[in-house]
Structure 1
Amino acid sequence: MTRRMPTISRMASTSMLALALALPVTLTPMLTSPAHAWRIVYDPRNHAETLLTAARTLEQIDNQVLQLENEARMLINQARNLASLPHSSLQQLQQNVSRTQRLLDEARNIAFEVQEVDQAFEREYGTPDLSMSEQQLLTDARTRWSNTMGGLQDTMRVQAGVTGNIEAQRAEMATLVEQSQGATGALQASQAGNQLLALQSQQLSDLTALLAATGRAEALVEAERAAAAEQGRIQRQRFLTPGTGYQPSNARMFND
């Protein structure tokens, strides 16, 4: 890009250009002798007008150079603003979310599905029947205990997975902040900000998964406690219900 000339150089150039333009001053052929000699006639008004025209021409050229400099600078800024961020955290964030989702999908006994929860509660946490055998009551109690232990284990596994994501999130956040601070244009800064928001969303999803797993474990504990209380009530009622009493019968102690 051509740099602007200093004021003194510009004035010197103006004078030189004006002098060059003024050189072809009026040449009037004068017949002073039979040899037809030429004599130069100097016109001050014409010389002044020539200098003024040269100065105006140089000023216009200088303005055009400034305009070209501004346009080039504007194009450079536009190119910087349109430059894309060279770093993308999408793959890392997707891996973290998939890892947490996989832990939720591996929930033992009772999954995070409405239909399966309804079926399990109707089958294992409903009101026991008075006609149920003691063995069936014991089997249902063990099933409920297994569900509770499975829910607690699932919660601990989700906690471990979310904790494992913290280091990856920390490293990704440091990279995005560095990319944002070193952004050369508006687009790069905006993309870095969007990826930081995506990282925050991934952290919120981990927190949501942890709360869901913890709430599920607490719900299973309360459900087992309620079912155990109802089963105890049924067994107590069955024990207190009058029976047929003792009926004597013949006993054989030895084989005849």
Structure 2
Amino acid sequence: MRRILLLGGLVSVLSLSVTPAHAQWAVFDGANFGQNVMIAARELQQIDNEISSLANQAQMLVNQARNLASLPLSTLSTLQSTMSQTTALLSQAQNIAYSVQSVEQQYQQAYTSISASMSDSALFSQAQTRWQNSVGGFEDALKMQARAVGNIPSDSGAMTQLVSASQSSTGALQAAQAGNQLLALQSRQLSDVIAVLSANGRAQELDRAREAAAEAEGQAQYEHFAQHDAYVPGAVSVFNDGN
């Protein structure tokens, strides 16, 4: 296209440089011709520069459009759903919930209020509560572990999609969005790890507390038994005196 424009310009210059002096004769002005050629060349060079500038601007706009294009893939709803399921499972903790107030109240009632003045039935009731707390804690830990393991296949699929989207991204925005979603996925996986560790720790501490309370209960039962009057032997008549 540029060559056609240049050729067209030169033809125009040549046609203008030949001016008729008389009706039958034409006089060639070499100086004027050279000057016209230089002017035409400069004008054509300027047009060529403007065409190049417009092409660069068009390419820049295309690149900007690519950089501003959003990632067509979003895993946010899936991550939020999985987080909600994990949170719901934590809220279903048996007996002693994941709450400072609940721990303080129920721990005080079942683990630190043992005394020799309590009846045998009260001691047995507290021991039964502590045993149920320990069993429930281990069950909650197993459920949380199952939830974390169950999330692995969906996490693997989401990670594969995000990595593929990041590698095939057409602009900076798509790459950044894919990276942000990968970070969100890692954060969700980290929350699973924290939940599992918390559930396991809760179960172990409840069992340790049960063992400690069992020792205190044994001491209370001993003191309770020691409060009874000691056995006093007496004379026993096996046969009647008349026989």
Residue among 132, 153, 156 paired with 1:167: 153
TM-score by length of 1: 0.86
Query: What is the rounded CA distance, in whole Å, between the counterparts of 1:127 and 1:53 in structure 2?
Result: 106
How big is each residue's C-alpha offset from its partner over 1:203-238, in whole Å with a ceiling of 9 and x where there is no partner? 001111111101100110010000001111111223
Aligned to 1:16: 11
**Kept after mapping to 2: 8 A contact 1:127/1:227:** no
Deviation at 1:19, TM superposition (A): 1.3
**Kept after mapping to 1: 8 A contact 2:6/2:44:** no
Query: What is the rounded CA distance, in whole Å, between the counterparts of 1:11 and 1:220 in structure 2?
Result: 91
Q: Answer yes or no: is 1:183 the counterpart of 2:140.
A: no
Matches within 5 A, 1:224-239: 224-239=210-225
Q: How many residues align?
A: 234
How big is each residue's C-alpha offset from its partner over 1:138-177, in whole Å with a ceiling of 9 and x where there is no partner? 1110110000000000000000111111111110000100
How big is each residue's C-alpha offset from its partner over 1:91-131, in whole Å with a ceiling of 9 and x where there is no partner? 00011111111111111111101111111111100141222
- Structure 2 residue matching 1:41: 3-state secondary structure: strand
**Kept after mapping to 2: 8 A contact 1:18/1:55:** no
Aligned to 2:61: 75
Query: What is the rounded CA distance, in whole Å, between the counterparts of 2:81 and 2:6 in structure 1?
Result: 68
Query: What is the rounded CA distance, in whole Å, between the counterparts of 1:63 and 1:147 in structure 2?
Result: 82
- Aligned residue type for 1:72: A
Aligned to 2:51: 65
Query: What is the rounded CA distance, in whole Å, between the counterparts of 1:20 and 1:60 in structure 2?
Result: 21
- Structure 1 residue matching 2:21: 3-state secondary structure: strand
Point out where structure 1 has 5 or more consecutive residues left out of the alignment. Answer: 30-36, 249-256
How big is each residue's C-alpha offset from its partner over 1:71-109, in whole Å with a ceiling of 9 and x where there is no partner? 000000000000000111100001111111111111111
Deviation at 1:133, TM superposition (A): 1.0
Runs of 4+ with deviation above 6 angstroms: none
Percentage of pairs with the same residue? 44
Residue among 40, 50, 58 paired with 1:54: 40
- Aligned residue type for 1:162: A
Matches within 5 A, 1:17-166: 17-23=12-18, 25=19, 27-29=20-22, 37-166=23-152
How big is each residue's C-alpha offset from its partner over 1:36-83, in whole Å with a ceiling of 9 and x where there is no partner? x55322211111111111111111111111011000000000000000
Query: What is the rounded CA distance, in whole Å, between the counterparts of 1:182 and 1:140 in structure 2?
Result: 62
TM-score by length of 2: 0.90
Point out where structure 2 has 5 or more consecutive residues left out of the alignment. Answer: 235-243
- Structure 1 residue matching 2:25: 3-state secondary structure: strand
Residue among 237, 243, 248 paired with 2:229: 243
- Aligned residue type for 2:80: Q
How large is the RMSD of aligned CA atoms in angstroms? 1.9
Query: What is the rounded CA distance, in whole Å, between the counterparts of 2:65 and 2:31 in structure 1?
Result: 51
